[in-house]
A and B are shown apart, each in its own frame.
Chain A
Amino acid sequence: MAKKAPKQDKSSAPVALSTKDRKTLSSLRELAGSVVQYAERSRPPHFEVPSRSLSNVKYNQTRRIIEMGSGANRRELFNLGQAKSFMQTVLVGSKCKGLIEQGKTASIRQIFYLCKHTIKGTSENTFDEQEECDPIIEDVEVMLNTLREELHVFASNRGTMVGNITINDSGDTIDCSRMGSGGYSIPSIVEPDVIEFRECDAKFILHVEKDTVWRRFNEDKFWKEHNCILTHGGGQPPRGVRRLLSRLHNELKLPVYCLLDNDPWGYYIYSVLKQGSINLAYESARMAIPEARYLGLRSKDFQECELPDSVQIKLNEQDIKRAKQIAGYPWFEKKKTWQKEIEQMLKNGFKLEVESLISKDISYVTEEYVPQRLEDKDFLD
Chain B
Amino acid sequence: MSAVKARSSPGQKTLEFSGGPRPVDSDAKGAKLNGSVEPNGQAAGGHASEQNGAAGDNASSHHVDHGRGKRRATAESMAAKQRDISVSEFFAKNRHLLGFDNPRKALLTTVKEAVDNSLDACEEAGIVPEIWVIVEATGNNRFKVSVQDNGPGIVKKQIPLIFGKLLYGSKFHRLRMSRGQQGIGISAAGMYGMLTTGKPVKIISKLSPKKPAHYFELQIDTKRNQPEIINGKGDGVDVEGGKDFHERLKKHGIDWETHYKAAAGQEPQEVRSGTRVTIELEGRFIRGRGSVDEYLEQTAIANPHVTLHYKDADGNESSYERSTTDMPPEPKEIKPHPYGVELGRLVTMLKDTHAGTISAFLTESFSRVSSGVARKLCEEAKISTRMNPKKVGRQEADSLYQAIQTTRISSPSTDCLVPIGEQLILKGLHQVVPGEFYCAATRPPAVYRGNPFLIEVGLAYGGVSSAQKVPLEALTELLSESDARTLRQFLMNTFDGIGSEASDKILTEAKMGTRQSPAKLKKDEIVQLHAAMRNVNLSEGQSMQVLRYANRVPLQFQPAACAITQSVIGNNWRAYGLSQSRGNLPQGPVTVMVHMASVWVPFTSESKEAIAGYPEIQKELRLGLQAVGRKLGMYLNRKVKVRQEGERRSIFLRYLGEVADAVGVLQEYSDKKRTEIYEKLLSIAKRKTAEADTKYDDRGRKVEQAEEEFGENVLIVNPETHEEVQQ
Contacts and interface: CB of A to CB of B under 8 A. Distances in A.
Interface of A: 1-4, 6, 28-29, 31-33, 35-36, 39-40, 42-45, 77-78, 80, 83-84, 86-87, 90-91, 93-94, 97-98, 119-122, 124, 126
A29 B651 CA distance: 26
A39 B662 CA distance: 14
Given A2-B664, A29-B666, A33-B667, A42 B680 contact: yes
Interface in B636-654: 648, 651-652, 654
Classify the interface of chain B: helix, strand, loop or mixed. helix
Contacts of A35: 659, 663, 677
Given A39-B681, A78-B685, A122-B654, A90 B659 contact: yes
A87 B684 CA distance: 16
Contacts of A98: 665
10 contacts: A1-B660, A2-B664, A35-B659, A42-B680, A42-B684, A45-B681, A77-B681, A90-B658, A90-B659, A93-B662
Nearest to A6: B665
Contacts of A39: 677, 680-681, 684
B56 interface: no
Contact of A2 (B675, B683, B687): B675
B666 A93 contact: yes
Nearest to B664: A2
Contacts of A1: 656-657, 660-661, 674-675, 678
B648 to A, nearest CB: 6
A76 to B, nearest CB: 10
Contact of B662 (A94, A120, A122): A94
A120 B660 CA distance: 13
Given A2-B678, A122-B654, A78 B684 contact: yes
Given A2-B678, A42-B684, A83-B651, A29 B662 contact: no
A31 B655 CA distance: 17
B680 A43 contact: no
A44 B671 contact: no
Contacts of B655: 77, 83-84, 86-87, 119
Interface string B369-409: 00000000000000000000000000000000000000000
Contacts of A31: 666
Given A4-B661, A44-B688, A94 B666 contact: yes
Contacts of B652: 77-78, 83
A254 B662 CA distance: 45
Contacts of B656: 1
B666 A44 contact: no
Nearest to B668: A29
Given A4-B661, A97-B665, 13 more contacts: A1-B660, A1-B661, A2-B664, A29-B667, A35-B677, A42-B683, A77-B681, A78-B652, A84-B655, A86-B655, A98-B665, A119-B655, A122-B654
Contacts of A126: 658
Given A1-B661, A44-B688, A77-B659, A36 B654 contact: no
Contact of B657 (A2, A29, A80, A83): A2
A2 B671 contact: yes
Given A1-B678, A42-B680, A36 B648 contact: no
B674 A2 contact: yes
Given A77-B681, A87-B659, A94 B674 contact: no
B46 to A, nearest CB: 76
Contact of A90 (B666, B675, B688): B666
B85 to A, nearest CB: 77
B662 A87 contact: yes
B654 A119 contact: yes
Contact of B671 (A3, A40, A121): A3
Contacts of A120: 657
A35 to B, nearest CB: 5
Interface string B20-49: 000000000000000000000000000000
A31 to B, nearest CB: 7
Contacts of B688: 44, 78
A342 to B, nearest CB: 45
Contacts of B654: 119, 121-122, 124
A32 to B, nearest CB: 3
A32 B684 contact: no
A3 B675 CA distance: 9
